[in-house]
Structure 1
Amino acid sequence: MSNPAPLIKPANPNFSSGPCAKRPGYDVNKLDISTLGRSHRSAAGKDALHKVISDTAELLQLPEGYRVGIVPASDTGAMEMIMWSMLGARPVDICYWESFGQGWFADITKQLKLQNVNPLSADYGLLPDLSRVNPDNDLVFTWNGTTSGVKVESGDFIADNRRGLTICDATSAVFAMQMPWEKLDVTTFSWQKVLGGEGGHGVIILSPRAVERLESYTPSWPLPKIFRLTAGGKLIEGIFKGATINTPSMLCVADYQDALNWVKEIGGVQASIHKSLNNLAVLEAYVSQNSWINFLAENPANRSNTSVCLSLDLDDTQIKQFIKLLADNQAAYDIGAYKDAPSGLRIWCGSTVQESDLTALLPWLTWAYREVSK
């Protein structure tokens, strides 16, 4: 029996988890490029950097005293900068359940060589027992496991009266999930994820407690210049006002500003979160109706609403054929699982993805499955 391909394709078949799809209606020709060719240290350059910093803080509704800074090397650079600058003052709990969290654990134990480290880990699809987190220790964790599709449900496992600091890698959670800022002392993300910005830059959000640690603790190892957040025992405030470390791409900054303006236009972060949750609901309904596809996340409460990871009733070769069929037919690009994760799909459902495109994708998933499972 023939298996005709669907007639309708997603208007935007970009479902990559990073860089993710550009916002609906994006037009590169409409970016404000007045800072191009200018020094980032000029008044115009600093003003543009300060505006994205202040708009980020305003949109995320950060508590009084929290600081936002732009740093080099995406979320990875932001996390490395924080770990090298702040860890070692207390024992460390590191929670990981996918490849990026496991990478932070490796850095803490093999690069920084910290001795008093308590790993709380789980296999792909699961969360570790977060009740074992010690409030006296520093805590390092990812809010959303981009390569596993498993997120923490809330910050309830973090003690209000904690003595240690919480360091949260939230690169695919900020602007898409509710973040309990009072529970988070350091948060890192990259705007290439949820907002579809261009890569190369990371964002660090510091609480007053995190600033206090930076100004009162000096690690025993040397810090490269690019990692230094203090000078003379005081926070380098300029980083959090637009005087960034290293030379930023002003084109990327303009692109990020465009994304922030869009979030404002649609109603702020709550609207952005709502769009992402609606996108997840499209896939949840589809999975519930098809026995050959399942969420990698075993607990529905912990399903990511951005990096949706799915397992298929197919072998590895068939899954590769499945993914290639969709790409060759321009129905979906870049939806294969992360290289270290179990074979399957990873479909981005962040707010820049249109619900109509996900709906159009569904018949193509069915078609591809029937093609490769003949």
Structure 2
Amino acid sequence: MTLPEKPALRPLSPRFSSGPCTKHPGWSLDGLKGALLGRNHRQPETKARIVLALTRTRDILRLPSDYRVALVPASDTGAVEMALWSLLGPRGVDVLAWEAFSQDWVTDISEQLKLPDIRALTAPYGELPDLSNVDFARDVVFAWNGTTSGVRVPDGDWIATDREGLTICDATSAVFGQRLAWDRLDVTTYSWQKVLGGEAQHGMLILSPRAVDRLESYRPPWPVPKLFRMTKNGKLMSELFEGSTINTPSMLCLEDYLDALDWVESVGGLDGTIARCDANAKAIADWVARTPWIDFLAKVPETRSTTSVCLKIVDPDIVTLRPEAAGAVSRRMAALLDAENAAKDIASYRAAPAGLRIWTGATVERSDIEALLPWFDWAFAHVKRGLAKAA
């Protein structure tokens, strides 16, 4: 077996983690100089920065004018939990799960909220549930993009426009990277740490008027923790969507978010960030098409993620050696590329099938993806030879 030479060119940034994700090109601490540190977050100057973040979010994402945006605690997870604990109950629930995090929502709804009428529509890693089976007379909970499986919904066409229930969408690895059908989403959540490369612990919650109507017409039968409360005396806490926050936010992290939004506008706004994600994903797709030992975990091209690309080893010499061989190869490749400072954090998620996972979000440069791919070929050849010698 002839081994390829070690590539001469390394990615300028080897950070391909799927969360927290790499900072945007050109990021530096200088961009945070305007942070109002050591100031109460309810004062006019500091609250104005939060309002600015909400306003710019609305404008850049092109949200419908009657949708509301809030900054909430505990990252995307906190935003999702706020929605589940505050909105679910009056209707049956269809919850879709095809990877690790969407399965968490199945667990929370069934084991914590213990709702009486739940349908879990599931699929194995690499596939989507049958979307035609979703009943929109019920509430529907789903992730737009499955970060740990590399599988996303192809579009919003499967979501009924005349739905009776609410749609609650965990879109944390899709917002700013993929086109969302806002008119078909009643609750949308995300965190700053994904496509924008922002800091963790802060979540964003976007509500449609239908979601607001539910909040004001329904009171859950269970105690709702303070961090999840969006109503008071049966009415929406409108101040939450006007710059007030449930708890104390980090003004340093907020300034970092505003800096990321500046960068988004510098690359062409939403169209620009989506184009960057698409170009990164295409670079990998072109390489996979000409590389026989690797394939996408996602089985259907239209459902492949353009932000979190998950790959599997399919080399026949490896997969027929023993069942765990492909996993051993991918783990050794990830360790080798980490040691070479060519790629950090590219092993698949701990609960997912063994393989490689490359974040291709907007803050990743396509030139770094292109520089990474020869390293994959080099690492695979070396690991495969080592495995053959040990057999």
The TM-score bracket by the shorter chain reads: over 0.9
Stretches of structure 2 lacking an aligned partner (at least 5 in a row): 319-324, 386-391
2:31 aligned residue: 30
Residue-by-residue CA offset, 1:105-131 (whole Å, 9 max, x unaligned) = 010000000010111110000011111
Do structure 1's residue 266 and structure 2's residue 288 form an aligned pair?
no
Moved more, 316-325 or 111-120: 316-325
Whole-angstrom CA distance in 1 between matches of 2:19 and 2:35: 27
Q: Could you tell me how far 1:241 is from its partner in structure 2?
A: 1.3
Q: What is the DSSP-based 3-state SS (H/G/I as helix, E as strand, rest coil) of the residue aligned with 1:309?
A: strand
Do structure 1's residue 348 and structure 2's residue 356 form an aligned pair?
no
2:211 aligned residue: 210
2:197 aligned residue: 196
1:358 aligned residue: 369
Whole-angstrom CA distance in 1 between matches of 2:89 and 2:245: 26
Q: What is the DSSP-based 3-state SS (H/G/I as helix, E as strand, rest coil) of the residue aligned with 1:323?
A: helix
Residue-by-residue CA offset, 1:39-58 (whole Å, 9 max, x unaligned) = 11111110111101000000
1:326 aligned residue: 337
Whole-angstrom CA distance in 2 between matches of 1:169 and 1:234: 24
Q: How does 1:1-374 map to 2 (within 5 A)?
A: 3-313=4-314, 314=318, 315=325, 316-374=327-385
Which consecutive aligned stretches of 4+ in structure 1 deviate over 4 angstroms post-superposition?
none
Q: Could you tell me how far 1:132 is from its partner in structure 2?
A: 0.9
Amino acid at match of 1:266: V
Q: Could you tell me how far 1:85 is from its partner in structure 2?
A: 0.4
* Normalised TM-score (structure 2): 0.94
Q: What is the DSSP-based 3-state SS (H/G/I as helix, E as strand, rest coil) of the residue aligned with 1:12?
A: coil
Amino acid at match of 1:102: Q
Amino acid at match of 1:166: T
Q: Could you tell me how far 1:327 is from its partner in structure 2?
A: 0.4
Q: What is the DSSP-based 3-state SS (H/G/I as helix, E as strand, rest coil) of the residue aligned with 2:204?
A: strand
Whole-angstrom CA distance in 2 between matches of 1:350 and 1:160: 29
Whole-angstrom CA distance in 2 between matches of 1:82 and 1:259: 26
Whole-angstrom CA distance in 1 between matches of 2:215 and 2:289: 48
Whole-angstrom CA distance in 2 between matches of 1:334 and 1:48: 33
Q: What is the DSSP-based 3-state SS (H/G/I as helix, E as strand, rest coil) of the residue aligned with 2:119?
A: strand
Residue-by-residue CA offset, 1:82-110 (whole Å, 9 max, x unaligned) = 10000001100101100111110010000
Moved more, 282-291 or 307-316: 307-316
Q: Could you tell me how far 1:321 is from its partner in structure 2?
A: 1.1
Q: Could you tell me how far 1:318 is from its partner in structure 2?
A: 2.2
Whole-angstrom CA distance in 2 between matches of 1:112 and 1:333: 38
8 Å contact 2:3–2:382 — kept in the other structure?
no
Amino acid at match of 2:172: T
Q: Could you tell me how far 1:2 is from its partner in structure 2?
A: 5.5
Aligned residue pair count = 374
Q: Could you tell me how far 1:317 is from its partner in structure 2?
A: 2.1
8 Å contact 2:94–2:118 — kept in the other structure?
yes
Moved more, 309-318 or 122-131: 309-318
2:322 aligned residue: none
Q: Could you tell me how far 1:68 is from its partner in structure 2?
A: 0.6
Q: What is the aligned-residue RMSD (CA, Å)?
A: 0.9
Stretches of structure 1 lacking an aligned partner (at least 5 in a row): none
Q: Could you tell me how far 1:3 is from its partner in structure 2?
A: 4.4
Q: Could you tell me how far 1:185 is from its partner in structure 2?
A: 0.2
Q: What is the DSSP-based 3-state SS (H/G/I as helix, E as strand, rest coil) of the residue aligned with 1:118?
A: strand
Whole-angstrom CA distance in 1 between matches of 2:88 and 2:3: 60
